[in-house]
Amino acid sequence: MPFRTRNTNTVDILDAAQTAALLPWTPLIETLEATMLDYAAGKILCPERQTLMPPGREGVMLSMPSAAADVFCHKLVTVYPGNAAHNLPAIHGVVTCGDARDGRTILSLDGPTVTARRTAAVTFVAIRRLLPAPPRSVLLIGTGVQAQAHVEGLFTLWPDIRVTAQGRSVERERALRAATDSRVALSHEAVERGQQDATHDAVVIATTAREPVYDLPGRAGALVVGLGAFRPDMAEIGPATLESSALYVDDPHGAPSEAGDLIQAGIDWNRVRPLASALAAPPDSRVPVVCKTVGCAAWDLAACRTALGFSGAQ
């Protein structure tokens, strides 16, 4: 991606709203798919993320650099799950984007916004490429920041979709709907009315669970995406679902050490395919499918490519 010449050495520092404006869903997804192919072809350098846990704290700092011939990026974020009890966001940080030809840093993006949108975009790539038809109904398990990004993207990309939110309480589900879209159906309300739907086209799980919260046998033509559990001691999807499904991961390099769902279930990694492979060869529509995503800096690089394009830097 060639850049336009810039006559300044300044770095544009963007807040959350400005960052989101440079990452519209459809261009972000299309850029992400192209970046997945580049990553699979070895055109992107993406070392394993460095993780530091501050002593005596229930939190983690993540350093994630990545570089291609056109763009480099570095994401430095902290994840403190206990921050909710103090009315603070769980994720803080920045993503820096620059021109790999000359080393100039051009943009500084809001880290939580990049993380939320590129993670949701990976889910949407899975939905587009692993489902045999556009989704009509999605069950979203989780009510946090990732769930909010998924709600926004789902209704933007598929305006007629039905999204049902399932959380740990009615209050959490209602808070998600209040923060996102009035069209979100609430699982607890459906259960109370005897109207729960077990035939969702996709189940999207965005939690930080240590034990599986979903373990139903796979259903032909349906997709399960797990995206919240990103460490070997975390798991959202249970063995009954995994054993009965075709398996995909977003990052085949990081998943064997980070995808706790698959690790704890003792999955044979020879069964697992990269999501990038589905861009050219979709799975058999008669087979249930699970996609586990753990994220990597290459997906942040895709976000930087998108943002730089919309900022006029290229």
Instruction: Examine the pLDDT at 263 and tell me if it is beyond 60.
Output: yes
Strand, coil or helix: 103: coil
Report the CATH superfamily, name and number, of domain 132-295.
NAD(P)-binding Rossmann-like Domain (3.40.50.720)
Percentage of the chain exceeding pLDDT 70: 93
Q: What is the rounded average pLDDT of the residues 42-47?
A: 95
Give pTM, 2 decimals. 0.92
Report the CATH superfamily, name and number, of domain 12-114+298-311.
ornithine cyclodeaminase, domain 1 (3.30.1780.10)
- Reported as a single tens digit per residue, the pLDDT across 282-300 is 999 999 999 999 999 999 9
Residue owning tokens 């889910």: 123
- Reported as a single tens digit per residue, the pLDDT across 98-142 is 999 999 999 999 999 999 999 999 999 999 999 999 999 999 999
Give the list of residues 6+ apart from residue 193 with CB closer than 8 angstroms, or none.
none
- Reported as a single tens digit per residue, the pLDDT across 180-234 is 999 999 987 765 555 455 689 999 999 989 999 999 999 999 999 999 988 899 9
**Beta-bridge mates of residue 65:** 74
What is the domain partition of the chain in residue ranges?
12-114+298-311, 132-295
Instruction: Examine the pLDDT at 8 and tell me if it is beyond 80.
Output: no
Contact 127, 30 (CB under 8 A): no
Looking at residue 53, the DSSP 8-state letter turns out to be -
Q: What is the rounded average pLDDT of the residues 15-32?
A: 97
